[in-house]
Amino acid sequence: MAPITIDRVDKVYPNGFHAIHELCLNVEDGEFLVLVGPSGCGKSTALRMVAGLEEVSSGLLQIGERVVNDVEPKNRDIAMVFQNYALYPHMTVRDNIGFALKLAKVPKKEIARRVDEAAQMLELSEQLDKKPAQLSGGQRQRVAMGRAIVRQPAVFLMDEPLSNLDAKLRVQMRAEISRLQRQLGVTTIYVTHDQVEAMTMGDRVAVLMDGHLQQVDTPQNLYDRPDNVFVAAFIGSPSMNLYEAELLDNQLHIGSHQLTLPESVFVRRPALREYQGRRIVVGLRPEDLEDASITGPVPSGTTITSTVELTESLGSEIVVHFMLDESRVDPGNPDAAEDLSSSAVARFDPRSRCRAGEAIDIAVTIDNLHYFDIDEHTAIWG
């Protein structure tokens, strides 16, 4: 059990590619930190530096009280779970789990005891004499976990450990890993590109983009107070609608649409006053938009009138696409290259009777709107 301190760490690969820029991150003792970001943003690179599989180009890396920049992986007191599990195909489950202990010359009896204990925890007791090829995907995943926990390391490092599982199993293993981590209290860095995984598993979530750390915070704070357009769009599904807008006398003009901002908005975001008369980026989460015909009466200046383009009924909600006559803003996620001509998205209550082609009044929860600088793409607060 140990905290991890990553202090202004850079990674430049031998080919000159600068993969990580001045990463600063503190993971507390026993914390579950999720590192999330689009493909190629440097998550694995960061994790592999902590593991010791990649050299740190500059900066300090500390596990516990110890600077580990030049410490061999095996001496860092870490265990790692790989995306494709990296089980040893020629060894039984028992030998796979016990391999590290065997190398560490732990007495045979002790190995057997700890392997059995880990197997029990992971419900693998029946599989101990099988080879990895004879296991299901979920069981292999568990063996990989077993290999990590049997060593009782100070730190778990996991690189997209669930991405090879089908959706249902993924949800199940998600809960299982969280439970196990809490039970063992081992400091964990968990890498994923799935924001749902990040939000549901992490005590805190660090969002990475192009090798730059965007924001670290609890899942709720990331959702409520994204620091910039990228984080705003990355967290939440469907993604936040981001449009250019103009602020004129407490009136927010989004194309031909107009919303009235109450004084409370400016109290919470004093800096917004300085944007009077300027163009900004406004973010509307799909869940903050509702069919006005079922919300009951709403104050004037809190609705948008548009035409429904498409509805997708999910049973628990209806996803409604509609057009806004204003430029969309590209948050810059390479994984979800925005079609900037596409429509805005709302999540309506299933009672909504709206249909494609019909005009619709959409009630906006004004208090929950997000505002960003149009050039810097940073959140406007105080």
Partner 1 sequence: MTRSQLLPRLVMAMLLLFTAIPFLTLLSASLQPLGVSPRGLKWPSNPRWSNFVEGYQVADMTPLLMSSTLIVIGVVPISLLIASLAGYGLASLRIPGARWMLLVFIAGLTIPFESLITPLYFQMKSLGVLNTRWAVILALIGLFMPFGVFWMRSHFVSIPNEISEAARIDGAGPWQAFWRVHLPLARPALTSLAILLFLWTWNQFILALVLIDDPSLRTVAGALGAFQSQYGTNVVLLASVSVLIMAPTIIVFVLFRKQFSKALLEGAVKG
Ligand X SMILES: Nc1ncnc2c1ncn2[C@@H]1O[C@H](COP(=O)(O)OP(=O)(O)OP(=O)(O)O)[C@@H](O)[C@H]1O
Q: Which residues bind partner 1 (CB under 8 A)?
A: 51-53, 73-74, 78-80, 82-84, 86-90, 99-100, 103-104, 147
Distance CA 187, CA 121 (A): 19
Give which of partner 1, ligand X, Mg ion, none residue 146 binds (C-beta under 5 to 8 Å, depending on kind): none
Asked whether position 5 contacts Mg ion by CB under 5 A, the answer is no
Beta bridge partners of 252: 247, 259
Asked whether position 188 contacts Mg ion by CB under 5 A, the answer is no
Q: Tokens standing for 182?
A: 């809490």
Is 243 within 8 Å of 328 (Cβ atoms)?
A: yes
Q: Which residue number, 41 or 284, has a Cβ lying nearer to ligand X? A: 41
Judged by the rule CB under 6 A, the positions of this chain that interact with ligand X are 13, 15, 17, 19, 37, 39-45, 193
Give which of partner 1, Mg ion, ligand X, none residue 53 binds (C-beta under 5 to 8 Å, depending on kind): partner 1
Asked whether position 192 contacts Mg ion by CB under 5 A, the answer is no
Q: Which residue number, 79 or 254, has a Cβ lying nearer to partner 1? A: 79
Asked whether position 44 contacts Mg ion by CB under 5 A, the answer is yes
> Min. distance of Cβ 50 from partner 1 in angstroms?
11
Q: Phi first, then psi: give them for residue 350, nearest 5 degrees.
A: -65, -15
Residue among 277, 282, 269 nearest 247 (CA): 277
* Residue with smallest beta-carbon separation from ligand X: 44
Q: Which residue number, 44 or 139, has a Cβ lying nearer to Mg ion? A: 44
> Min. distance of Cβ 329 from ligand X in angstroms?
24
Q: Tokens standing for 357?
A: 């082609």
Is 41 within 8 Å of 211 (Cβ atoms)?
A: yes
| Share of the chain residues as helix, strand and coil, in percent rounded to the nearest 5 | 30, 30, 40
Task: Give the Å distances, CA to CA, from 186 to 46, 79, 324, 364.
Answer: 19, 10, 48, 43
> Min. distance of Cβ 243 from partner 1 in angstroms?
43
Residues lying near Mg ion in the complex (CB under 5 A) = 44
